[in-house]
Amino acid sequence: MAYLDYQVAQTPAGWRKILYLNWPLVFLLSAVACYGFVMLYSVAGGDTDIWAKPQMYRYVVGLVAMIALAFVPMWFWRGVSVFGYVLCLLLLIAVELIGDIGMGAQRWIDIGPVQLQPSELMKVALVLVLAAYYDWLDVKKTSHPLWVLVPVILILTPTGLVLMQPDLGTSIMLITGGAIVMFAAGVSLWYFAAVILLAVALVTTVLESRDTEWQLLKDYQYRRIDTFLDPSVDPLGAGYNITQAQIALGSGGWSGRGFMQGTQSRLNFLPEKHTDFIFTVLAEEFGFVGAGSLLVLYTLIIGFCLFSALGNRDRFGSLLTIGIGGTFFVYFAINMGMVMGMLPVVGSPLPLVSYGGTAMMILMLGFGMVQSAHVHKPR
């Protein structure tokens, strides 16, 4: 759809746009963020200054940014999508060249006072460019091999760069996020079947490559795989984190051990408890009630995104909404699956709850576009 296709007259304008925001989504996001504040207060041992307060500031900034972005017309986002994608790609390359070493992986780039994580930015940029691509592409050509190859290249180029950092978690999220947009756009299911087969073959190859000259992953990543497959092999070594996380989670029971009463987190048995493992603290202190309700909130967020997407006749906005929602889904599914021992420990935060600036800002940016799509949908 071109600019003129939008029925401008029927689109809310000016401050009236605020009435057309997807308000349930705003409340759901805020509710999830509140879970984060409470848990960050708890893991800091009753201190707001360490994590909870900065996180609140960021959320408020993110919330304002989201609403501001919602005011930006949809066609602007489509217009900047290719430019944004190329910019993120260049930044990723820049990180490869000048990025600082952090946690054994090159992920950060310093721009003045802020540390930029291009791989996080790419999650949104990729969804954006793919949505724009399928909006532009003739529907009939969607499953044509040549036109399938283009998005595959669009996905694999940043994925490859991220994998070089190396960051397995983000790589997986880029691939799944991209695949969700392609799936929603209507690419033939055969391609997906083929890719899944290929993925199985690839995993086998990766595992086979271990201890050979052409080893594909770093040693620590292999150890994480080992740990995932059987954490009890080395409960005090590599499997320590996941074993302790599961103990914390399971010991929560129905209603948990009480706010600030989780022994596993309080006594430092849990690793990274303010970031990747924050879900276990919630599960330990508030039990099934706390953890389950968070899962329901997340599912509702996805549901509202999908509902908004299905009610949007604008193909770009719809695909964008599904893509952002899908990325968000993959985010929390990987984190929860990881701490519950269903997935290997890949190091991915719990969206909006884990402490971390970039991840939260990127997510709010993404949801700003989702809101924009909601506000500017053809009526």
Partner 1 sequence: MKKSPREVMESSRMLGRRGLMLGGVQLGIAMALGLRLRTMQLEHADEYRMLSDGNSIKIRLLPPARGLIHDRTGAVIAGNEQNYRVTLTREEAGGDVEAVLRHLSRLIPINDARMAELLDEFSRRSAITPIVLADRLSWEQFSSIAVNAPALPGVTPESGLSRVYPRSHDLAHVLGYVGPVSDYDLSKIENPDPVLMLPEFQLGKVGVEAKMETELRGTAGERRVEVNSAGREMRELSRKEGQQGATVQLTIDAGLQNYAAQRMGTESAAAVVLDVQTGEVLCSCSTPSFDPNKFVRGISGPDYRSLMEHNHRPLADKTVQGVYPPGSTFKLVTLMAGLEAGVINGGSSFYCPGYVEVGGRRFHCWRRGGHGQMDAIQSLEQSCDVYYYELAQRVGIDRIAEMARKLGIGVRHDLPMSAIAQGIAPDRAWKRERYDQEWQIGDSLNASIGQGFVLASPMQLAVMTARVASGRLISPRLVRAIDGVPQLSEEFPDLGFDPRNLQQVRAGMDAVMNSARGTARSSRIIAEEWRMAGKTGTSQVRNITAAERARGVVSNEQLPWERRDHALFVCFAPYEQPRFAVSVVVEHGGGGSTVAAPIARDILLYALAGGLPPLDSVPEAQRAEMEARHKMMKLYTPEPPKSGRSSQA
Q: Which residues bind partner 1 (CB under 8 A)?
A: 1-2, 136, 138-140, 180, 183-186, 244, 246-254, 263-264, 266-269, 283-284, 287-288, 291-292, 295, 298-299, 302-303, 306, 309-310, 313, 315, 318-319, 322, 326, 329, 333, 336-337, 340, 342
CB of 130 to partner 1, least distance (A): 13
- How large is the C-alpha radius of gyration of the chain? 21
Q: Is the Cα dihedral 318, 323, 328, 333 positive or negative? A: positive
- CA dist 151 and 144 (Å) reads 12
Strands 105-111 vs 100-102: parallel, antiparallel or unpaired: antiparallel
What value, to the nearest 5°, has the Cα angle with vertex 326 and ends 323 and 332? 145
- CA dist 279 and 271 (Å) reads 12
The partner residues of 116 in beta bridges, in order of sequence, read 109
Structural tokens at position 238 = 């590599």
- CA dist 74 and 83 (Å) reads 15
Cα dist from 292 to 282, 283, 287, 345, whole Å: 10, 8, 8, 21
CB closer to partner 1, 249 vs 369 = 249
- CA dist 271 and 273 (Å) reads 5
Structural tokens at position 122 = 């790419």
CB 82 within 8 A of CB 129: yes
Structural tokens at position 132 = 């724009």
* DSSP assignment string, 4-49: GGS-GGGS--GGGGGGGS-HHHHHHHHHHHHHHHHHHHHHTTS-II
- The enclosing H or E element of 102 equals strand 100-102
* DSSP assignment string, 164-228: HTT-HHHHHHHHHHHHHHHHHHT--HHHHHHHHHHHHHHHHHHHHTTTSTT--S-HHHHHHHHHH
